[in-house]
């Protein structure tokens, strides 16, 4: 089964989703810390320092975009997992090993 077949693409998306879910568990707290730090520094930045405030705003937004992309991988993986299970008619035990 290769990525060029629908089954291969579903399997790859499912594995990527499981990996993304694991990464979210690890970096979720980091995202919260970064967001809080960017806001704290932004609030302490003088209003006339437009360039610094703009950079902080962009950095804050980038954290949200990275988190959203990881969440999208997780959702795509879950959809692909359901597709694989539906097509196979059974649950795959290897999925539980990936999630552990």
Q: pTM of this prediction?
A: 0.67
pLDDT along the chain (100 residues), means of 10: 74 87 88 94 96 96 93 88 78 60
Q: Residue 81's pLDDT is what?
A: 83
> Could you tell me if residue 77 is left (phi over 0), alpha (psi between -120 and 50 degrees) or otherwise beta?
alpha
Q: Residue 31's pLDDT is what?
A: 92
Q: Residue 41's pLDDT is what?
A: 96
Q: Residue 84's pLDDT is what?
A: 81
Q: Residue 25's pLDDT is what?
A: 86
Whole-number Å distance between alpha carbons of 59 and 71: 19
**How is the chain split into domains, by residue range?**
8-99
Q: Residue 97's pLDDT is what?
A: 62
DSSP assignment of 74-99, as one string? HHHHHHHHHHHHHHHTS--HHHHHHH
Whole-number Å distance between alpha carbons of 50 and 10: 46
């Amino acid at each position: 089964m290769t990525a060029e077949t629908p089954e291969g693409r579903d399997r790859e998306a499912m594995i990527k989703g499981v990996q993304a879910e694991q990464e979210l568990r690890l970096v979720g707290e980091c995202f919260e810390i970064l967001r809080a730090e960017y806001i704290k520094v932004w609030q302490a930045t003088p209003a006339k320092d437009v360039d610094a405030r703009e950079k902080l705003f962009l950095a804050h937004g980038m954290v949200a975009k990275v988190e959203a992309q990881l969440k999208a991988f997780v959702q795509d993986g879950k959809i692909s997992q359901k597709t694989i299970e539906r097509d196979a008619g059974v649950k795959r035990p290897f999925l539980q090993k990936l999630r552990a």
